[in-house]
Each structure stands twice: as C-alpha cells, then as structure tokens.
C-alpha cells in the first residue's frame, strides 16, 4: 500500500516491480565484502563514506550531499510530486578482533580518536550489510522510477555505535534550508540485519527497542601501600561494593512486570598488586522500555553510588559522566501498519508483524523526532546453515549472536 501525491492509497504489485528491477546482486556481494574487509570506527568512516558517495554518483540523477554531521551523507532521488521517504543505514564498525576465518575477514587496526588507543576493527554489528542493502535499494528505485512518485532520501549515518551520529547530522543542518537542505521526510524508515534465517523479516507497532544510557563513574579513595591498608580508603573495595549494590536496581527496585538492565561492563583500578590506588572507574550501561523507567534507573544508580562513597568515607563525591544516550525505538502505529501490509504481501509467511521487543538500542529515532517512523529486522543467516544447526540443537553455538535472541526470535 502506497500513498500517492493526492494522499490516497493504492497497492502496486511490489513483487513484480522488484523482480523486474532488481540490480545485479553479484556486484553488491563484491561491494559488501569490500566494506567488510575495510571497516572503520565511529567518527572515522571517511573511506567508507567516499565509496558510498562514488556509488551514489554512479546512479542516474541522484543528488549527493556529503560531510553532514561528520562523515554522514545522503543521496536524493527526486521523482515528481509526492511524499518524501527517508531510508537510513549506519556505517561505523566496532573495536572487535575478527575471528571468523572468512577469506575476506578484517585484519584492520585503527587508532580510536576517542582515546588514541589502537584497536582491531570489525563490522560485527552488520553495518556493512546495511550500507550495501541501502545502495542496492537505491539502485532498484532508480531503475523503477515509472512505478512510483515522490522523493526518496538515502541517508548513510556515521557514529551509530556511540549513539550520536543521527543527532549530529540533524544538528549540522541536515534539514536546514540554509545548510544541507535535505528534503524533510514525511516518514523515516530503517532496518537492522539480525541472526535470523535469511528471507525472514519482522517488525511490530509501538515500542520496538530500549532506551539506553552509558556512564563513566569515577570513585575516589585514598591511595597507599598494600602493607598499610588502614591508612587508605580502598577504591577497589568501594567499586566492588558498588557493583554488587547496583544489581539490586533490577532485582529489588524494578517492577517484575517491567524490564530494565543495569550492566557494569568494566571496572578499572590500580596497576600493581601491592599499591592501593587513589581511584576506580566503572563503565555502566542502563536500559529500559520507557522514559519513566529510564529515569527511575538513573535516580537509583546515582543514589546508590553516592551512598556507597559516603559509607566508604570517600574524600570527595563520585564523578558520574554520561558517555552515550540512545532514544527509545518506537514504531508509529499507522506507518507500521502500511509497512506491514506491503511486507506481508511480498514476503508472505516469512513476515511477522509481532516481533519481540528488543533490549537492543538505536539512535535511528533522532532522525525522526517529529516525523512518523518504522524500523524492522531482517535475517542474515544462510537458510541451509540455520536448518542444519537447528536440527543438531546447536543454534546458540553455531549461529553468530543467536544466544542473544529471545526464544521467539530463533
């Protein structure tokens, strides 16, 4: 079902249009491998953006605009009067060492601009697939111009992994007539490849993903020699006590019918065994399915950290710094109904409109603060490999990321 220029809906034969206009998939497989072999960390996606821009310029009558909010860019396809639809893909990779054994595996290392530390780099979150899929979709849309009208904005976003790229593009004047002047969309659409069987796709109305906030917490003690602990205030003991107490936010302060996550992903203090350090650092990640839940977790976290420091006799209050923030991922009900109708028509029984809510997070929503949007997931696992693993009862062991999925998503 599609909105035409007059606002009325009609249902084109989407499957026939796709079959007639599908681009050469082999060339996009090559492009995908190129992206996978050459990943780039957040805020450093310069070469990736250059490849994307060159590819967009190779498509007929695509208006390319670059350097938006860093290395972000768009390709605008104008096709007469009609609605404007924005399609988004993210481009950055993760500081992960690849151990897949693939012939095109990444061996790349980069110095992270965030802290000047060299790290291995891998497209471990599927952004290489997102880039390739959106470029192929743009190719298809250019090829079937006679079947649709309006404007499509192909947006390639940097710095998604740290939750800041979408907002950076908006803040840099993405939709500002005096800056980048990208047409303001009537609807924003996005997707994520998932450890599901290829060919399967799902979405849901309303809340689809959690809001997430990360923090760097510095706890202050008084250092000294390990042989004289009584003269110190040990930040390691303070950090251990704080980590344990933070676990009670979910187990004892959150309604069991709601959901929240508090994860201490890193604890750092000292460098040798016989010296008590002066401070400890905790890296904390929190998640919830509502703004109210998010705020309750934050208040409880701050209360516990401050109380533990007071109980330990810390010489100064703790420092709690927010390092990243992801908005709630919410699918507009009307838009999702239209999208679901079209997907069910094309994918049939391989489409589900009742996907489970995910504790995963996205900054996609920052592109659509006052615009209706819809986000969906699609499978990226070879069906034969999936079936073989399922028959052996080894999906968690043999399918990347499968152990992170809720039962209904396997």
User: Closest by alpha carbon to 91, among 146, 141, 132, 143?
Assistant: 132
In the set 92, 98, 363, 402, the catalytic residue is: 92
User: In angstroms, what CA-CA distances link 281 with 182, 267, 319, 321, 409?
Assistant: 42, 6, 9, 11, 36
- Catalytic status, residue 112: no
Interior angle at CA 402, CA 401 and CA 408, nearest 5: 140
The whole-angstrom separation of Cα 82 and Cα 322 is: 41
Question: CA torsion sign, 130 to 112 to 34 to 154?
Answer: positive
The whole-angstrom separation of Cα 49 and Cα 149 is: 27
Residue 119, phi then psi, degrees to nearest 5: -140, 155
Long-range contacts from 30-33, C-beta under 8 angstroms, 24+ separation: 31/55, 31/132, 31/135, 32/128, 32/129, 32/132, 33/104
- Catalytic status, residue 92: yes
User: Closest by alpha carbon to 245, among 167, 311, 177?
Assistant: 311
In the set 45, 90, 139, 160, the catalytic residue is: 160
The whole-angstrom separation of Cα 197 and Cα 382 is: 6
The whole-angstrom separation of Cα 167 and Cα 157 is: 10
Catalytic residue positions, numbered: 92, 160
């Amino acid at each position: 079902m599609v909105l035409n220029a007059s606002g009325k809906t009609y249902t084109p034969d989407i499957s026939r249009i796709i079959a007639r206009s599908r681009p050469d998939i082999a060339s996009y497989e090559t492009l995908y491998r190129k992206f996978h072999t050459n990943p780039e960390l957040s805020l450093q996606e310069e070469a990736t953006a250059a490849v994307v821009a060159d590819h967009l310029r190779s498509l007929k009558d695509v208006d390319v605009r670059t350097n938006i909010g860093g290395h972000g860019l768009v390709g605008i396809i104008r096709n007469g009067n009609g609605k404007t639809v924005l399609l988004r893909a993210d481009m950055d990779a993760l500081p992960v060492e690849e151990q897949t054994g693939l012939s095109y595996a990444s061996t790349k290392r980069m110095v992270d601009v965030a802290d000047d530390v060299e790290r291995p780099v891998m497209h471990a979150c599927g952004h290489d697939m997102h880039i390739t899929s959106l470029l192929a979709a743009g190719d298809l849309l250019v090829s079937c111009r006679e079947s649709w009208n309006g404007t499509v904005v192909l947006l390639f976003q940097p710095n998604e992994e740290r939750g800041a790229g979408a907002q950076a593009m908006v803040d840099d004047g993405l939709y500002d007539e005096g800056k980048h002047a990208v047409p303001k969309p009537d609807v924003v659409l996005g997707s994520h490849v998932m450890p599901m069987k290829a060919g399967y796709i799902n979405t849901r109305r309303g809340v689809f993903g959690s809001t997430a906030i990360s923090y760097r917490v510095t706890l202050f003690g008084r250092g000294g020699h390990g042989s004289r602990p009584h003269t110190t205030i040990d930040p390691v003991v303070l950090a251990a006590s704080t980590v344990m107490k933070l676990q009670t936010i979910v187990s004892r302060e959150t309604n069991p019918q709601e959901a929240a996550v508090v994860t201490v992903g890193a604890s750092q203090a000292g460098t040798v065994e016989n010296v008590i350090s002066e401070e400890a650092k905790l890296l904390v990640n929190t998640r919830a399915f509502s703004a109210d839940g998010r705020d309750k977790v934050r208040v409880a976290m701050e209360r516990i950290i401050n109380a533990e420091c007071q109980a330990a006799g810390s010489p100064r209050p703790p420092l709690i710094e927010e390092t990243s923030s992801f908005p709630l991922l919410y699918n507009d009900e009307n838009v999702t109904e239209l999208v679901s109708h079209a997907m069910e028509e094309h994918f049939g029984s391989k489409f589900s409109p009742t996907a489970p809510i995910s504790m995963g997070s996205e900054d996609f929503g920052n592109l659509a603060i006052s615009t209706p949007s819809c986000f969906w997931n699609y499978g990226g696992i070879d069906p034969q490999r999936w079936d073989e693993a399922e028959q052996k009862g080894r999906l968690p062991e043999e399918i990347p990321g499968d152990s992170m999925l809720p039962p209904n998503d396997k």
